[in-house]
A and B are shown apart, each in its own frame.
Chain A
Amino acid sequence: MDKVRRVISVIVANEAQVLARVSGLFAGRGYNIDSLTVAPIPGSNFSHMTIVTRGNRRVIEQIVKQLHKLIPTFKVIEHEEMVEKEMVLIKFSIESPIAEIQALCQAYNGNIVNAGPDMFIAMAADEASRIAHFIDAVERYQPVEIVRSGVVAMER
């Protein structure tokens, strides 16, 4: 069976151990995690986790069911029609061509977000695959550091 990429949202009680329960489930059952983000849902006792994973149909089905089986899990959404965004911060030397980089950033919903005497930091926010393109595109400016946020997603 072919492996597919899946974005899964998990709504969990915002309580101690819950991240360990989820990450432990993936580690213990040998499931893959491409990225995992988590933050509280405003005005509630729940947190929203967005997990990007890969696996064949049976594995993805098991991941969804096993996540649901955790006692603090309220809801599991296997995204089909979604808006998906990831952010990246990239640091460059101040010698780099800032105008060119800024133009690239803007093509990927970003901008220059910080500048100092030696370095400046660019940001882009887009679909995960486009963020990968963006990172490829700025490779030739020899970035000093790259930090990706992991994916957040919302069903349309």
Chain B
Amino acid sequence: MKMSGAQMVCEAIIAEGVDTVFGYPGGAIMNVYDEIYKQNAFRHILTRHEQAAVHAADGYARATGRVGVAMVTSGPGFTNAVTGLATAYMDSVPLVVISGQVPLSLIGTDGFQEVDAVGISRPCTKHNYLVHSIEDLPRILKEAFYIARSGRPGPVLVDIPKDITGEIGEFVYPEHVDLPTYKPRYKGNDRQIKKAVEAIVNAKKPLLYLGGGVVLSNAYESIRSLAEMGQIPAVETLMARGVMGAKNPLLIGMLGMHGSYAANMAMSETDLIIALGARFDDRVTGKLSEFARYADIIHVDIDPANIGKLVDVDYPIVGDVKTVVDKMLPMLEKKVDPDRYQVWRDILARYDELHPLTYNDCGDVIKPQWVIERLGQLLGEKAVITSDVGQHQMWAAQFYPFDRPRQWINSGGLGTMGYGFPAALGAQMGQPDKVVVNITGDGSILMNVQELVTAAENKLPVINVILNNHFLGMVRQWQTFFYDKRYSETDLSFQPDWKLLAEACGGAGYDVTTKEEFDAAMEAAIAGGKVTFVNVAVDRFENVLPMVPAGGALYNMLLEHKEQCDG
């Protein structure tokens, strides 16, 4: 069938079953927007910044497990999208981003709104394409979606010169992808899997170390079965919150720089790490030479480059987490003895009693941790929680009772401030029946605050709970601990009127200073059905604890909340 390149882009999006595209038009992508205007098979959400378009597609992808699609123009449209690409790349989120490019004849001439998009995005995409000919376009679009979602997922950029979207060509959307150079391995080596099972059976202190790959692989049910079958305790990374379920007695907690005492001690004392879809990030391991000194390591990951990158692995298994764990289950069922690990479970329970995750809920000022706990009580599994980056993100990860994967959406690898709000819009598009709450700070929220307009226009009732300490809190915390309290450029006392700001853009706002006001504001926000700021004044100097100082050993944690309640 003959059609324009722009039509091909739309046809491919439809063929891939995408129902929502996030984007922002401009000169070089106008041909495609003209076709978007003519069709009604998918919805287009106009964000108010290209970065937000990519984050929204990312939030949509994480909330649904489908490929997110964003569309931007050339030059500044593309460069604004780069932070979104890098965010998705670090957290292995399947995205296809379509960017316009100046016409082929102008490439390399410093044309208006020309930038080398494939050059800039090469290190922060799984793969990228500059389309040189309309004959290649159907194949490239098909490959882009396939590469984005297969293997270790990631963002793929397709940069299309304007003359190609305007040109007429033959369109047959390929049914299959044939890439002799790209064959992800899903199955896992059977001999290695057998050896790993033996290692689990023979261990005394095995520990499941669960990462974001578990969520990507939709493996949580298999992993809960694995844990239950052997009564094997588990720790989750920031990216895996929700995998075990907050009520699961085998969940020890989150580990890492702001992990719980019990989780970090579990990692330090285990004799067998069962790493599933995790990548031994520096925020998880602390000082590498002191990390898990007594442990053998089973590492299951679909990306061979993750295995042996930072730590030596005894049982490397390249494969999809779900596929591999499903192979382990019947082998383990016959051999594993849950009683064998009873002493180990008792030790970890004692660690948790010794230093539970806690805070001092006292004084007139609301503690930020209380806000998260209260949100958990009010919304529990009904909500999808996104967050920005900083103290509020860590408190959310520590204190919200996540029950299922894809309930917790945050920028873990890149740590992108300004991610949470647009990601929440995408999550709300993907999960229209859920209450979507963005837990944010007074620093982060301003980094994509223009999306109030997008949310109001599209009636996306995202609730932004701002833990407002009038500080760039996490940096302030480091300045308190490591820079002798020199608060260089972290005092955010000068602020907008949050209520007015939300209202000016068509949303609602509530200023909260007491617990009663918080409950009332949340009730009103949920009932109001429109985008909301709940601006909560919290203790300015509260710190995120426990904390493993950067470069320190995982077992050396700053623990105590020093101030005590009076009386």
Contacts and interface: CB of A to CB of B under 8 A. Distances in A.
B242 to A, nearest CB: 28
Contact of B181 (A16, A28, A74): A74
B123 A72 contact: no
Contact of B180 (A24, A69, A74): A74
Interface in A1-19: 12-13, 16-17
B102 to A, nearest CB: 17
Given A17-B118, A17-B130, A24-B122, A71 B181 contact: yes
Interface stretch (A60-68, A87-95, A97-105, A118-126): A60-68
Interface in B108-140: 118-119, 122-123, 126-128, 130, 132
A140 B309 CA distance: 46
B230 to A, nearest CB: 31
A58 interface: yes
B150 to A, nearest CB: 11
A20 interface: yes
Interface in B268-293: none
Interface residues of A, number: 19
Judged by DSSP, the binding face of A is helix
A74 B147 CA distance: 15
A73 interface: yes
Contacts of A61: 308
Nearest to B119: A20
Nearest to B309: A62
A11 B126 CA distance: 19
A21 interface: yes
B181 A62 contact: no
Contact of A69 (B123, B128, B132, B303): B303
A65 B132 contact: no
B565 interface: no
A65 B304 contact: yes
A13 B126 CA distance: 16
Contacts of B305: 62, 65-66, 68-69
A107 to B, nearest CB: 42
Interface string B295-327: 000000001110011000000000000000000
Contact of B308 (A20, A24, A58, A71): A58
B180 to A, nearest CB: 6
Contacts of A65: 304-305
Contacts of B123: 24, 28
Interface string A12-36: 1100110011001000100000000
B147 to A, nearest CB: 6
Contacts of A71: 126-127, 147, 179, 181-182
A71 to B, nearest CB: 4
A71 B305 CA distance: 14
Contacts of B126: 71
A20 B122 contact: yes
Contacts of B130: 16-17
Nearest to A25: B123
B503 to A, nearest CB: 45
Given A20-B119, A71-B181, 9 more contacts: A13-B181, A17-B128, A21-B122, A58-B308, A68-B304, A69-B303, A71-B147, A71-B182, A74-B180
Interface of A: 12-13, 16-17, 20-21, 24, 28, 58, 61-62, 65-66, 68-69, 71-74
A-B pairs, top 7 by smallest CB distance, nearest first, are: A65-B305, A71-B127, A74-B181, A28-B123, A71-B182, A65-B304, A69-B305
8 contacts: A16-B132, A17-B128, A20-B119, A24-B123, A58-B308, A66-B305, A71-B182, A73-B181
